């Protein structure tokens, strides 16, 4: 309890203005960081790409700088030194935020299947396709099972192998029978 009181007294002994300015900087940075993460894309006009000057990196620097300097001023560190140490902490925190955002973007799935990529692929029928109606086919792309709604001019039974001839939407395709023999069950 005594250390909290000393910290509060440090803010009130004439460094309240400096501490308050650092606190405002920290809060603004924290709010920007939160908004940039929660409402991804809302500040794209102010974003400088994915590099070290991305909005996320700048907001992390600002928040860490402000809160660190605020805490140091309250602990009795002279304002210029608190600002310098806050800046060092902000650079380290901003660098960590930049590295983390790059790791997250690198881990994003690249298994999206495009329509052009599907045409000509073979798939197994997992839900029979009535003539002119909808059934379901499945295939493996990029190591993942992909299920798609499928339509065909003729009825195709479950287990048959088909070739995709056209993509209709992102999740539906037109197929034709390759063989009536049952293929591997997907």
**In a structure prediction context, what are the per-residue pLDDT tens digits for the chain, which is 186 residues long?**
667 776 566 555 546 677 788 888 888 988 887 877 676 655 555 555 566 677 778 888 999 999 999 988 888 888 889 889 999 999 999 888 888 877 776 665 555 555 667 888 899 999 999 988 889 999 887 777 888 889 999 999 999 999 989 888 878 889 999 865 444 444
Both 18 and 69 in one domain: the answer is yes
Q: Are 126 and 108 in contact (CB under 8 A)?
A: no
CATH number of the domain at 162, please: 2.40.50.140
Query: Do 89 and 119 have their domain in common?
Result: no
In a shared domain, residues 128 and 67: no
Q: Is 114 exposed, middle or buried (0-12, 13-18, 19+ CB in 10 A)?
A: exposed
Same domain, 35 and 96: yes
Q: Of the candidates 139, 180, 174, which has an alpha carbon nearest to the alpha carbon of residue 159? A: 180
Clarify whether residues 48 and 27 are in a common domain: yes
Give yes or no: residues 176 and 100 share one domain: no
Greatest extent of the chain over all pairs of C-alpha atoms, in Å: 87
- Six-digit token string for 32: 């920007």
Dihedral pair phi/psi, residue 180, rounded to 5°: -85, -10
For residues 73 and 164, membership in a common domain is answered with no
Of 82, 107, 132, the one marking the end of a domain is: 107
Q: What confidence score (pLDDT) does residue 183 get?
A: 46
Of 77, 107, 137, which closes a domain?
107
Q: Where a domain ends, among 59, 88, 107?
A: 107
| Domain shared by 48 and 86, yes or no | yes
Say how many domains are in the chain: 2
State residue 20's pLDDT score. 82
Q: 180: which strand partners?
A: none
**Shared-domain flag, residues 56 and 134:** no
103 and 121 housed in the same domain: no
Same domain, 136 and 68: no
Q: What is the pLDDT of residue 185?
A: 46
> Which range marks the domain in which residue 165 is found?
115-182
- Reported pTM: 0.50
């Amino acid at each position: 309890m005594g250390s909290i009181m000393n910290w509060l007294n440090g803010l009130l002994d004439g460094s309240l203005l400096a501490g308050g300015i650092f606190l405002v900087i920290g809060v603004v940075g924290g709010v920007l960081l939160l908004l940039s993460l929660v409402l991804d894309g809302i500040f794209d006009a102010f974003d400088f790409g994915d590099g070290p000057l991305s909005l996320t990196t700048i907001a992390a620097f600002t928040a860490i700088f402000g809160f660190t300097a605020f805490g140091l001023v309250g602990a009795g560190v002279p304002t210029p030194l608190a600002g310098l140490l806050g800046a060092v902490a902000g650079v380290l925190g901003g660098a960590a935020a930049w590295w983390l955002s790059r790791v997250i973007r690198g881990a994003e799935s690249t298994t999206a299947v495009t329509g052009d990529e599907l045409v000509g692929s073979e798939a197994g029928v997992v839900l029979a396709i009535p003539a002119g109606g909808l059934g379901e086919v499945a295939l493996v792309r990029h190591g993942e099972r992909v299920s798609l709604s499928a339509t065909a001019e003729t009825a195709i039974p479950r287990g048959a192998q088909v070739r995709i001839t056209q993509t209709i939407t992102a999740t539906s395709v037109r197929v034709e029978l390759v063989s009536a023999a049952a293929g591997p069950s997907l």
